[in-house]
Amino acid sequence: MAYTDRFPIVKNFLETKLTAGCDAGETTLSLENVDSLPVILAGRDYVPLVLRDAGTAREIVYVDAVDSSAGTVTVRRGQEGTTPAAWATGTYAYCTVTSDSFQRMRVNGFAPLVTDEGRPSVSRTSATTANIAGDFTAQLEVGMAVRVLSGDTVVEPTDAELGAIHVTSVSFSAGVTAVSFQNVSLPTTVDGLDLGLSVASAPLYHPDVVVADEDTLTQTQNVLSVSQKFKDDLKAEQAAKDEERDEAIADAKSSADAAKTTADNALPKSGGTMTGAIQFGNSGQITIDESADFIVLASRTGDKVGAKVVCRGLKASTRPGSVLLIGRTSDGREGTPVWVMPDGNIEVNGKNLVRSVNGVAANAAGDVSDVAAIGSDYVRFSNGFQICWGATATTKNADVQITYPQSFTTGPSIVGLRSSGPSTTATVSCWARTNTATGFKLYANEATGYMWAAIGRWK
């Protein structure tokens, strides 16, 4: 069936200009931004435009085709009682609903399926199904009468006695609206759809319909009755699917809640037990499971918990048998991690502080803390850092001269600890005097044992 109806396709806020003047008889106009016009089907749709000047002159033209490469449109001039005129370059042209285009939309039983950009792309997927680019679930509904356009023809229903082509299902997924139809065999090329203005614009087909040789009114009543039954069946089927979906969602939520409860019970935020690793009581006590692969100890300082963290790797850690020390201030700031290895090495921030096995130094190029020299009571590092240590016995109220095993550049810092003392309860005081680059004098008010360490630079 030849296509005789033409539908106006409009777009909000579309305004452009002529890029070249035209006389009253020209049907090809040059426009700015012709690609901004809505997509139309040649011979089936048109875009109403109004040409206007700064005064009162107006002319309505219908755009029937767009040539994007040439920047031109093919138009019908002087529409709706206006007079074709000559227009200069820069004349304004804007898209709007005109009186005649409004009447066409109002009185016609069908309206084109369009977006603000015009007709969407429609592709046939089977004899009774098609995909439409975009989401049109709000425009299409089950039972709606449609008109299928192919080329310059309207596709005929497969059974004219059963009325128009109708929509039987609509769904949207992955940017495409999938539509199923009845009473049609879709051609290879589908250019567009026109939609009935209401579901009742034509009766639905149902296999149970029996068209008797009665008067037209009785036939129509029979078909409408079965149409309603068909719609009710589709609604019932959809309701069953919705119920099944809701049950699946409820089951999934229940499983997620159960998993969350299990996780909360296994790893509480405050108090409780983390199985197999560590247990914290409400008052901060710590119990250790020696079979765990990794142990975390948090020390308590007054009312401050976590002032220091000590981690000891046991079996499967990255450094088995090592001790990790991390200094932490009372406000939660952590210092540099220090690893103490089973072989005696110390690693600070990824660099070895001491590289030795059984007392033999093993230098490695590139470490800023490589050992330069090492003895039983000193260690020198390539960066100039040096530590010396020793032990001595003091004489009551007298100086003891201590000589460093290796010299410093200047008097180093000295730390010490009394290792033994008098059997009495007297207070023992020790202090260093005359500290130089080669040694210091140790004074004590009692005879005592004293261990010391000197820290400084050797170069």
Helix (H) or strand (E) run with residue 263 in it = helix 216-266
Phi, psi angle pair for 139, to nearest 5°: -90, -30
Per-residue pLDDT at 90: 94
Domains and CATH numbers, the chain: 7-107 (2.40.30), 110-205 (2.40.30), 278-342 (no CATH), 385-457 (2.60.40.2080)
Per-residue pLDDT at 138: 86
What tokens were used for 364? 């490695």
pLDDT tens for the 459 residues of the chain, in order: 444 467 788 888 899 999 999 999 999 999 999 999 988 877 778 899 999 988 889 999 999 999 999 999 999 999 999 999 999 999 999 998 888 877 776 655 677 888 877 889 999 999 999 999 999 998 898 888 888 988 878 898 998 766 778 899 999 999 999 999 999 999 999 988 888 754 544 444 444 444 444 555 555 565 566 667 777 778 888 888 889 899 999 998 888 888 877 766 654 455 555 444 444 444 444 444 444 444 444 444 444 444 344 444 444 455 666 666 665 555 556 666 666 666 667 776 666 665 543 444 444 443 445 788 898 899 998 888 999 998 888 888 888 899 999 999 998 888 777 666 665 555 667 777 788 999 988 888 888 888 888 899 999
Has this prediction a pTM greater than 0.75?
Answer: no
What tokens were used for 425? 């309860």
What amino acid occupies position 73?
Answer: V
Phi, psi angle pair for 408, to nearest 5°: -105, 170
Nearest to 335 by CA among 347, 322, 325: 325
Phi, psi angle pair for 397, to nearest 5°: 55, 40
The three-state DSSP-derived secondary structure of 20-32 is CCECCCCCEEEEC
202 secondary structure, DSSP code: S
What tokens were used for 370? 């490589």
Per-residue pLDDT at 195: 84
Q: Which residues pair with 111 in a beta bridge?
A: 195
Q: Contact 153/194 with Cβ under 8 angstroms?
A: no
Per-residue pLDDT at 300: 46
Q: Contact 146/181 with Cβ under 8 angstroms?
A: yes
Distance CA(145)–CA(205), nearest Å, equals 11
Place of tokens 């950009």: 117
Q: Contact 158/183 with Cβ under 8 angstroms?
A: yes
Distance CA(76)–CA(411), nearest Å, equals 104
Nearby residues of 419 by Cβ (< 8 Å), 6 or more positions away: 391, 448, 449, 450, 451
Q: CB atoms < 10 A from the CB of 18, how many?
A: 18
Phi, psi angle pair for 246, to nearest 5°: -60, -40
Per-residue pLDDT at 419: 66
What tokens were used for 113? 């399926």
Per-residue pLDDT at 424: 54
Per-residue pLDDT at 321: 60
Nearest to 443 by CA among 414, 405, 412, 407: 414
Q: Which residues pair with 391 in a beta bridge?
A: 451
Nearby residues of 273 by Cβ (< 8 Å), 6 or more positions away: 279
Nearest to 98 by CA among 70, 131, 58: 58
Distance CA(72)–CA(22), nearest Å, equals 12
Distance CA(396)–CA(353), nearest Å, equals 38
Q: Which residues pair with 385 in a beta bridge?
A: 457
Per-residue pLDDT at 350: 66
Per-residue pLDDT at 87: 96
Distance CA(228)–CA(142), nearest Å, equals 11
